[in-house]
Structure 1
Amino acid sequence: MGKSIRKDRLIKEYIHDPYFTKEKYHDPSVCKKCGVVFHDGIFEWIEPVPENAESIVCPACRRIEDRYEGGYVVLEGEFLKEHKDEIINLIKNTEEEEMAYRPLERIIEIKEEDGKIVVTTTYEHLARRIGEAVHRAYKGDLIIQYPEGWKYARVHWVRN
């Protein structure tokens, strides 16, 4: 009797990101907009920039130009109205911390809309981190959703 082959395994499909195709980048490359360096297969902040670096526009800067978000955060409630400036500072500090380790995680836009703060991010990690940081600091209700098959996060926080 031959080997049986299981055909009922779940195979996680690769989620394609049109903004990041590492095969196309010369090593090293430097983003002419933000200065992030592609080296050894990853983007990182390197000083000084290698002399032989090729000039590119990194995936984060391209997403920002195209307004192609990877994360969407909505913050709302009475508490937000009273603590708006503090919360916006927390959002910006969270971005700075995340960018130190993941240079492509950036805020695309922070805007106020109908008494809410809406934040769009380049990738899903930062959206999640913003929601978690606000929740950790100010409690309230937090919901994080990852639509199946998408490299995307929807985050909703509310405190009344």
Structure 2
Amino acid sequence: MNGRKDKLIKDYLHDPYFVKEKYSEPSVCERCGVVFNDGIFSWVKPIPKEFPKMICPACRRIEDNYEGGVVLLTGKFLNNHKEEIINTVKNVEAYKIERRPLERIISIVENENGIEIKTTYEHLARRIGEAINNAFKGELKITYPEGEKYVRVKWFRDE
């Protein structure tokens, strides 16, 4: 053993959309109706009117257009199967949002290069890319820029 005690310690990845102080418990997002209680966000029906109001991190990210992940879909295959692929994207979001209310799609934008999907957090972007690749095959590349709580997902299929 060399006896060295110094080690590389990773800094905490700061997310400006989670406030340092806790939300009042219980409280409800005035935009989407998600309830914060017992330290977690969940959907409650009917939405209690007497709960204190706040704006959840997902709604704030959507308002600021501040994504936690981006998915880029490209290739000739996309043009011929656009509706099926968009349905897959929306199904993944519906599945995830039920279990993790803060995981949402911010935008889906089509342009001459393909489709760009922005998500509130990196987990949904990764899951969308994986679901499209599992369903339609192709080339999938997932990159997490060092030091960031962010993901870039690129999917391509030409045939």
Q: What TM-score, normalized to structure 1? A: 0.92
Q: What amino acid sits opposite 2:13 in the alignment?
A: I
Q: Which residue of 2 aligns with 1:42?
A: 40
Deviation per residue, 1:69-114 (Å, 9 max, x gap)? 1011100101100000000010011001111111101000001011
Residue 7 (structure 1) aligns with: 6
Taking the TM superposition and a 5 Å limit, the aligned residue runs for 1:100-111 are 100-111=98-109
CA distance in 2, matches of 1:154, 1:63: 17
Asked if 1:66 corresponds to 2:76, the answer is no
State the aligned residue count.
156
Name the amino acid aligned to 2:147.
G
Residue identity in the other structure for 1:70: G
Q: CA RMSD in A?
A: 1.5
Which SS does the other structure have where 2:21 is aligned?
A: helix
| Distance change (3 Å), C-alpha of 1:57 and 1:157 | same
Q: 1:2-151 counterparts in 2 under 5 A?
A: 6-8=5-7, 10-21=8-19, 23-50=21-48, 52-151=50-149
Question: What amino acid is aligned across from residue 38 of structure 2 in structure 1?
Answer: D
**Deviation readout 1:103-157 (Å, 9 max, x if unpaired):** 1010000010114011000110000000000000000000000011111000000
TM-score computed with the length of structure 2 as normaliser: 0.92
Aligned-residue identity in percent: 60
Q: What residue ranges of structure 1 are gaps of 5+ in the alignment? A: none
Task: Tell me the equivalent position of 2:156.
Answer: 158
Q: Which letter does structure 2 place at the counterpart of 1:15?
A: L
CA distance in 2, matches of 1:30, 1:22: 18
1:21-40 Cα deviation digits (max 9, x unpaired): 26241111101111101111
For the residue of structure 2 that corresponds to 1:33, the secondary structure is coil
Hey, what's the Cα distance between the residues in 1 that align with 2:34 and 2:9? 34
Return the alpha-carbon distance in structure 2 between the equivalents of residues 14 and 21 of structure 1: 14
**Deviation >3 Å, runs of 4+:** 48-52
Structure 1 Cα separation of the partners of residues 51 and 149 of structure 2: 29
Please state how far the C-alpha of 1:12 moved relative to its aligned partner.
Answer: 2.6
Assess if the C-alpha contact under 8 Å between 1:59 and 1:104 holds in 2: yes
Pairwise CA distance, 1:14: 1.0
